[in-house]
A and B are shown apart, each in its own frame.
Chain A
């Protein structure tokens, strides 16, 4: 079966032309013996099952084909190199393109082959999903159209003209316009949705061809994209690295600003220039994101799926909408659009409206806060005659878009997120002429078109909205300093201050100015209060204004249907209708009491007030949102659990950003899931959620957070509790409620946590690394630092793998300074950790920092000063014996027991700080928090603890766990505990406490534990015994000072300097302390033996360090046991015999 090059042409003609007949008849039969040919559809009509074939050197048909393909390729390559040599003018425009010609084409497949030869492409004689990138054909039989997927394996099916035109243009054109007509007109199928659909950017109208792209291709929108070069599909395997160049906190309001960076390693990037042209100047033009392909080793490997949807904005810009969905079985891809959530929200109008407020607040921060308080005083005076102007842009979302299309002014226009031939997208907003046809928001495009065939559908233009909204507010703020923003296009003005001016004139002036500035009209309502002003606006619309004189309010309201009132929705209106109340006039006849009885106090009062035109709200009272969240109910299709997890993480990110944007933190987290009903099919609305059950679970944690890691953790947990098949999920929403202001939650518990954390942390700084744990530690460090970077709370659940990832990425992508997961700033690095790293790692990190790290280290070494500032560097992590075995010795048991056995501790802080490398190796630290199953699980750091569990633990228990953690980790825990300010100065605090004027301690009474702070604290503080003073100080530093165990724990952690100094009053001190303990035992023995147990365990530990405590312990212990025996009939197992 050898072929020489002369007849290869002939053969390939034969084989390709025979495809059509053969594949139907033979493919089934052959299936069994051609694994490798599974995709080689119609490859050869000659059969593998022929007996004669068996005698060939090939063991089976598959291997024969493999060899044959290889040979054909070699021939092709040889020819290609010949032809390119002979014709040096051609450039390899088809680089990366590998075509397969199906059936009869004009020009013939041989000519096409020649083109591919000459222009750097590949030509496949036999179809292979892995090698072919494009299928070229002119016509397809019906059966193939119907079963496009199995026919094309998701590859683009393109007309041969594409090749010719590309050659003529001497560059690779987008194949999209050349898509086979039969396909382009086809209805979008779910599977095809996964691949990009787009349209050439130079066409004004929406065509929505479905194209199957082999790889995810970015929709590149070129600034000068007059031609349809906006697609780079040729390379197909470009790997784009997306970078968020923006700070987190800006992300919400400003659209994130992404740039694409072409990986230098990209083998197939044939149009790097396009990449660079990419809208570099326009910040708003952000999301040419897309190509999210991790680099694939083999370019032919088809991979999943982004669908990009291009909207034509001024013929230049594209705002791709991507969604990831669904399992495509033929593709074995694990890829998805990693940015689905982000892109989703970028293209969501609701999101725009929802997040707009933050943008507004950022723009007018002083304005929105500054005057609210001052206005409160003149409330009563003002309500009488306060003129309120309510101003509202007329069909904002449409008019902004069409202002650049004056020809559309009188035509019915609607805005919609997408346009597809099925017409299953929903209208978001329609202008007045469209509304005349009965078109409403929320209507399907299909239905709208039915009502008004000439309806023009336009896409959103978010940056134009922002621009107009900004102008709108600029004007409002110019005229009036009391502006309450309701939404991006709607606001209330309180013009009381502007007494000199007629509000009506003012309103028309503002409207005129708005029109001039933005080209969009606005309507205004003027009345005595917000309610009436709003109602007036609805009368005034469109493009008008209306003044309701205070005396004519009743007249205005009487005939008003109830539904026109804000706050009265379907349900309420329906209820009232049942009572035969349909207008405000009728409503007014009902007494307040009976309204309140029927509808509840608040609603009743509202009804009563509103029906009389009474509205006591003040302009500028911004209602704080009760919850912050994000919900995605469109385009949600998960292929597997991982996929869903990934989505959740993104959602968390979004929510976290929103929380941070609003400056709040929440305690209750609700995960809502829309689950497809069992019998529900694909929804009518394309990619919509259809008929769903709404499920929700929520968790409340004790400490408010906005930290993404915590959020993700909690969300994962919540998600797990659904026990749901991810394939049934049609929508996911995460809501955070019980909001607290981020500032207060950061400050309040500061006293308790921070000081003690820092103090105890410093103590542990002497610990050296176990060499085993170094790798782990350093990973931990990296992510730790990262977390501190954004001032979010530091609580990471980064597994080692994650962290490795984190560390590697920067090093690979070195040079890209703005990496998404960037390295923490130098100053955030824990130098102690860094210095203890193995040298290879250190130098790698150093590289990341461009050498600055070494400098810093040197500087640190030189700097001998041991000022407390060195505490600001997070102390090095103590050793964590990773091997679980060691935990046997150290009794890994209980949470309540501080399981950290610190030995070799050196009391001098300075020494530790400056010479961390020489620190003594600490002994093993073994803590067990233990999963349910695991006997002695040793969480070496909080990252291995389930935070949400931790957060739900009672205060003391949590303290116990923290206690049990290596002390430095406590820093992390401060994230779980109250947020703290790292700059605090533990030594300062301490010295302040030390400066108490000393006097002699006196006898201690029995009620030592009464009072706040308890009596003993004062007694100890004024005592002249250093040890007692020290303990008293600990009271202020302890996490929960009401419990002695916490104080002792603190003492244990704090005892940096020798506790023992013999003095005259040695005995007195022992006596005092003994008394304190006995008093405590007495207090707690009946109700809380656990606390006593913990105290004495701690005491025992202290006794190994200090003579003083040893004596106290020995003195107190018998009393303790007697007391326990009395109450419990046993003795406390302090020494742990079992």
Chain B
């Protein structure tokens, strides 16, 4: 789909990355168990078992959110994509951060299979990362937040209009970071880590 429309390496990478993010974010959501178990079904992606949302709305949300990032990822504007779980007070409890680095000057052709090997390890590690994460309280909400290096022009794309500034509050203290997986294979660098509020944050909050 998009991959085909983007002949540039960055376009290809972005395509691969977006697709991967969609899967990975679904996995995160599934991992956190905020939906009933029946919400997800097993699918195979990059030769590993992943979860896929069965509910059309949920699937659509993830899909549209992530694919809305495509043009920005391609231009290297997106620095991080976060999956944020927050409580009823809009205070984040846990954040899964995907930190992206797309080499903008990379010139040669990229095959999905080249990246697949590395990306797959994210999915595998993610699937066993549950013990690293906190147990969420009831009535949690979650959202996908993208952190941009620069604000995109509103006119840039129709997709961009779907993105709105987040209402989620920020932590007052620097969070604790627990890395899950990192890869750096030219032209794509990707890191996945967890952020939790620091203990002092909890005290003050």
Contacts and interface: CB of A to CB of B under 8 A. Distances in A.
Interface string B185-205: 000010101111011000000
A942 to B, nearest CB: 16
A1138 B183 CA distance: 25
A1003 interface: no
Given A953-B121, A1087-B189, A1128-B193, A892 B175 contact: no
A773 B132 CA distance: 27
A1092 B184 CA distance: 14
A1082 to B, nearest CB: 15
B182 to A, nearest CB: 4
A987 B178 CA distance: 38
Contacts of B132: 893-894, 1138
Nearest to B117: A954
Contacts of B189: 1087
B131 A891 contact: yes
A1133 interface: yes
Contacts of B191: 1087-1090
Interface residues of B, number: 39
B131 A936 contact: yes
Interface string B103-138: 000000000000001101100110111111110000
Contacts of A826: none
Nearest to B171: A1130
A895 B179 CA distance: 12
Given A949-B124, A953-B124, A1137-B196, A1090 B129 contact: no
B177 A1089 contact: yes
Given A1088-B182, A1089-B193, A1128-B193, A895 B128 contact: yes
B174 interface: yes
Nearest to B191: A1089
A1132 B120 contact: no
Contacts of A1124: 177
A1090 B196 contact: no
A1091 B101 CA distance: 17
Interface stretch (A104-112, A136-144, A925-933): A925-933
Contacts of A957: 121, 124-125, 181
Contacts of B121: 953-954, 957
B49 interface: yes
B47 interface: yes
B135 to A, nearest CB: 9
B180 A952 contact: no
A303 B135 CA distance: 54
Contacts of A952: 47, 117, 120
A1090 B179 contact: yes
Given A952-B120, A1087-B101, A1138 B177 contact: no
Contacts of B125: 894-896, 957
Interface string B1-31: 0000000000000000000000000000000
Nearest to A1129: B174
B58 interface: no
Most chain B Cβ neighbours within 10 Å, of A928, A1087, A1124, A1136? A1087
B128 A929 contact: yes
A5 interface: no
Given A893-B132, A930-B128, A1137-B199, A1088 B184 contact: yes
A1124 B198 CA distance: 14
A1087 B182 contact: yes
Contacts of A473: none
A892 B131 contact: yes
Contacts of A1136: 178
B126 to A, nearest CB: 10
B171 to A, nearest CB: 9
B101 A1131 contact: no
B24 to A, nearest CB: 14
Given A932-B49, A935-B130, A1130 B195 contact: yes
Interface string A1114-1138: 0000000000110011111100111
Given A1124-B177, A1132-B176, A1090 B49 contact: no
Contact of A894 (B118, B129, B182): B129
Nearest to A1094: B179
Contacts of A935: 130-131
Contacts of B129: 893-894
Given A1088-B182, A1089-B191, A1089-B193, A1128 B177 contact: yes
A890 to B, nearest CB: 11
A1061 to B, nearest CB: 34
A889 B177 CA distance: 21
A952 to B, nearest CB: 7
Contact of A1087 (B49, B184, B198, B199): B184
A891 B199 CA distance: 19
Most chain A Cβ neighbours within 10 Å, of B120, B178, B195? B178
A896 B198 CA distance: 22
Contacts of B193: 1089-1090, 1128
A1136 B134 CA distance: 11
20 contacts: A894-B129, A894-B180, A928-B128, A930-B127, A936-B131, A952-B120, A957-B121, A1089-B182, A1090-B180, A1093-B177, A1128-B193, A1129-B174, A1129-B175, A1130-B176, A1130-B177, A1131-B175, A1131-B198, A1133-B177, A1133-B196, A1138-B133
Q: Which 4 A-B pairs have the closest CB atoms?
A: A1090-B182, A893-B131, A1133-B176, A1090-B179
Interface of A: 699, 721, 891-896, 928-930, 932, 935-936, 949, 952-954, 957, 1086-1093, 1124-1125, 1128-1133, 1136-1138
Given A936-B131, A1133-B176, A1138-B176, 18 more contacts: A894-B129, A894-B132, A894-B180, A932-B49, A952-B117, A954-B117, A954-B121, A1087-B189, A1088-B182, A1090-B180, A1090-B191, A1125-B174, A1129-B175, A1131-B174, A1132-B178, A1133-B178, A1137-B196, A1137-B199
